[in-house]
């Protein structure tokens, strides 16, 4: 994950902050957040999803593989006492959470069904999953496909994959944000799964 480590200091552009805010809003709109919730953000990067949601839940644990991303978040997080961070892989997590969220991470993980299974296992009973990522795209989103394992996702694939590992309900909310890049539009979805 050298790429993200090197990009960390310049990650928080106006566009990415806007994206994080829109995804956080979509999460808050579609899920009943409350002060009893312990939340995990996997691949949290610099915490663009975390910061807007910290005052709505009990705690947020941000994990990432890129130490420099976490350094940027730790510098922002000094004034929050319900934020913790950890340099680790989602597959190494052994606590359970009421809500697991992420933004733009799933397409960087090779085995989606294995990830779906791990996320299901890492939720408390009735826990909720909220994953934002790219809808199906033509491969033009990334400049290099090194470390990119999916060119976005179709609703059918998401529903099938997450229902298969045990989620009792899976809903895909489309167009929660559109990334505009190289004269093209890349819409994002929010997958909501209920354990
Ligand atoms: C495209 S960035 C998104 C960062 C942030 N979520 C955002 O929306 O601004 C993807 C992040 O996922 C992290 N990542 C990739 N695979 C991971 C894994 N298996 N476990 C934890 N973090 C991972 C990367 O280090 C990187 O910081």
Nearest-CA residue for ligand 1 atom 5 is 45
**Does residue 1 register a pLDDT over 80?**
no
**Model pLDDT for residues 33-57, shown as the tens digit of each residue:** 999 999 999 999 999 999 999 999 9
- Ligand 1 site-directed mutation target among 105, 112, 142, 177, most atoms within 8 Å of CB: 105
User: Does residue 43 have its Cβ closer than 6 Å to ligand 1?
Assistant: yes
Strands 59-64 and 184-194 turn out to be: unpaired
DSSP string over 56-113: GSSEEEEEES-HHHHHHHHHHHTT-TTEEEEE--GGG--S-EEEEEEES-GGGSS-HH
**Model pLDDT for residues 108-149, shown as the tens digit of each residue:** 999 999 999 999 999 999 999 999 999 999 999 988 888 999
The whole-number pLDDT of residue 173 equals 98
108 Cα to the center of ligand 1, angstroms: 7
What average pLDDT score do residues 80-84 get? 93
User: Does residue 96 have its Cβ closer than 6 Å to ligand 1?
Assistant: no
- Tokens 């808050």 belong to 28
175: helix, coil or strand?
strand
Output the pTM of the full model: 0.97
> Which domains, from first to last, does the chain contain?
2-194 (3.40.50.150)
98 Cα to the center of ligand 1, angstroms: 20
105 Cα to the center of ligand 1, angstroms: 5
């Amino acid at each position: 994950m050298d790429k993200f480590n090197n990009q960390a200091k310049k990650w928080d552009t106006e566009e990415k902050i806007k994206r994080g805010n829109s995804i956080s809003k979509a999460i808050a709109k579609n899920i009943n957040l409350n002060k009893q919730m312990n939340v995990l953000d996997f691949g949290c990067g610099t915490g663009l999803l975390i910061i807007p949601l910290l005052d709505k839940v009990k705690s947020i644990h941000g994990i990432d593989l890129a130490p420099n991303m976490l350094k940027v978040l730790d510098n922002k997080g000094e004034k929050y006492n319900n934020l913790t961070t950890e340099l680790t892989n989602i597959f190494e997590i052994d606590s359970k959470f009421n809500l697991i969220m992420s933004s733009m991470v799933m397409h960087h993980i090779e085995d989606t069904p294995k990830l779906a299974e791990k996320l299901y296992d890492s939720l408390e009973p009735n826990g909720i999953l909220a994953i934002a990522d790219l809808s199906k795209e033509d491969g033009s989103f990334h400049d290099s496909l090194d470390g990119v394992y999916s060119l976005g996702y179709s609703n059918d694939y998401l529903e099938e994959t997450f229902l298969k590992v045990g989620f009792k309900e899976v809903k895909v909310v489309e167009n929660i944000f559109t990334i505009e890049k190289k004269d093209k539009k890349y819409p994002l979805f929010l997958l909501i799964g209920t354990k």
